[in-house]
Amino acid sequence: MTMGERIKQKRKELNLTQEELADKVGVSYQAVSKWENNSSMPDTAILPALSSIFDVTLDYLFTGKCMETTEKRVEWGNLTGIITKDIHGDVGRIVGDMQADVFGNVNGDIVGSVNNIFGNVEGNILGEVRGDITGYVSGNLLGVVHGSVKLGVRGKKIFGTVIGDGINVETKKHK
């Protein structure tokens, strides 16, 4: 099975249209169609978002192995103090100065600072993200993000600042 076939399979399992998946990762539905037809591959910057949406590892997207992220996902507790090494796995709160990246979800608030987050933030951002967030922020954005929030802020309040290339705010459709 190719990467395109795996993307199509996972998209259908989630009952998403090509257009809905495209909106979540910030591309056109034609791009998703090309991936699924093996005419092109997703940009490497989009792969962590796809991994998060489908709840699979990057390995699975590339090879078809290690299918579910929950199988071997490392969970760290709260991070405090100064951290200079990348964290591969989910973390709790970030209270200290993290001079590295998180390759996983942040399940609590960000009160301190972190470079990039290749995953979602399930809490509030009160501190600083010096780079990008490839997923979404489920809480409120009250701090600063120097990059972009790829899948938007789902919280009710955005009093903070996004200095980089933007934020995709999830909109609710009214009937």
The CATH number for 17's domain is 1.10.260.40
Q: Which of 52, 71, 90 is the last residue of a domain?
A: 71
End-to-end CA distance of the chain: 40
Does 78 share its domain with 161? yes
Q: Is 32 contained in some domain?
A: yes
Residue 124 and residue 79 in one domain: yes
The boundaries of the domain holding residue 36 are: 3-71
What is the pLDDT tens value at each position of the chain, 175 positions in all? 899 999 999 999 889 899 999 988 889 999 999 999 999 999 888 888 898 888 888 888 888 876 444 444 567 788 888 888 888 888 989 988 889 888 888 999 999 899 999 888 999 999 999 988 888 888 888 888 888 888 878 877 777 777 776 665 443 333 4
For 87: left if phi > 0, alpha if psi spans -120 to 50, otherwise beta; the answer is beta
d(CA 79, CA 112): 9
pTM: 0.57
Q: In the block, which residue shows the tokens 């709790």?
A: 92
- Residue 65 and residue 78 in one domain: no
What is residue 70's predicted lDDT score, i.e. its pLDDT?
43
**Is residue 95 helix, strand or coil?**
coil
